[in-house]
């Protein structure tokens, strides 16, 4: 059972996992990370699920990254140790393919997690940004390891160290995005 901030739907042998916090641009809270852990652990054990599709809900944002609001900042250590770190560990060990459908702007951890996804499909208007240097935090989700291997050292440094924003097309050329679909037909094509 999840808090309602993470929606799940089975379509045949595919589990769709959707972030559902549109008023906060799908920014991830500790509870959302814990809910995602539950969803992915259950999916790993379910022989009827062949793969998982991970996406954002309605709106302009796929995910605005971790929620750094004052209420969530009081639990930042909790989020790091028992939230996103645990979730990333689960993603790394997940025994089935995970496809990210980036249906809007991706920021922070929602970008760095893409390094452990099996495929990334994005709308043509998506952007990818990791403002870690701007806010004084380290890149997370093992991205300092995965993103240079996917994108090359220079592109990964531009993204993570210099807070350069990538368009969907730039992310595709760099290797972070597997495929780009038109925003107008994304839901139908995906």
Q: What is the mean pLDDT of residues 151-173?
A: 93
Question: Phi first, then psi: what are they for 27, rounded to 5°?
Answer: -60, 135
Per-residue pLDDT tens digits for 30-51: 889 999 999 999 999 999 999 9
Report the C-alpha gap between 147 and 155 in whole angstroms.
9
Summarize the confidence of residues 100-120 as an average pLDDT: 94
Report if pTM > 0.85. Answer: yes
CATH number of 6-178: 3.90.226.10
pLDDT exceeds 70 at position 2:
no
- What pLDDT does 105 receive? 96
Is residue 160 within 8 Å of residue 132, measured between CB atoms? Answer: yes
**What pLDDT score was predicted for residue 49?**
98
Mean pLDDT confidence for 8-34: 94
| For range 113-135, the mean pLDDT | 92
């Amino acid at each position: 059972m999840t808090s309602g901030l993470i929606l799940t739907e089975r379509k045949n042998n595919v589990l769709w996992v959707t972030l559902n916090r549109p008023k906060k641009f799908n920014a991830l809270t500790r509870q959302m990370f814990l809910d995602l852990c539950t969803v992915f652990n259950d999916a790993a054990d379910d022989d009827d699920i062949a793969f998982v599709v991970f996406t954002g809900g309605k709106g302009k944002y796929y995910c605005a990254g971790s929620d750094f609001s004052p209420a969530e900042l009081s639990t930042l250590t909790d989020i790091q140790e028992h939230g996103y770190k645990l979730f990333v560990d689960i993603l790394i060990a997940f025994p089935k393919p995970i496809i990210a459908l980036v249906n809007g702007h991706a920021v922070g951890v929602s970008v760095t997690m893409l390094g452990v996804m099996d495929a990334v499909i994005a709308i043509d208007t998506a952007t990818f940004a990791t403002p870690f240097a701007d806010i004084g935090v380290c890149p997370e989700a093992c991205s300092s390891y995965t993103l240079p291997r996917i994108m090359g050292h220079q592109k990964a440094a531009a993204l993570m160290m210099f807070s350069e924003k990538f368009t969907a097309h730039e992310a595709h050329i760099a290797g972070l995005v597997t495929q780009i679909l038109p925003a107008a037909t994304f839901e139908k094509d995906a």
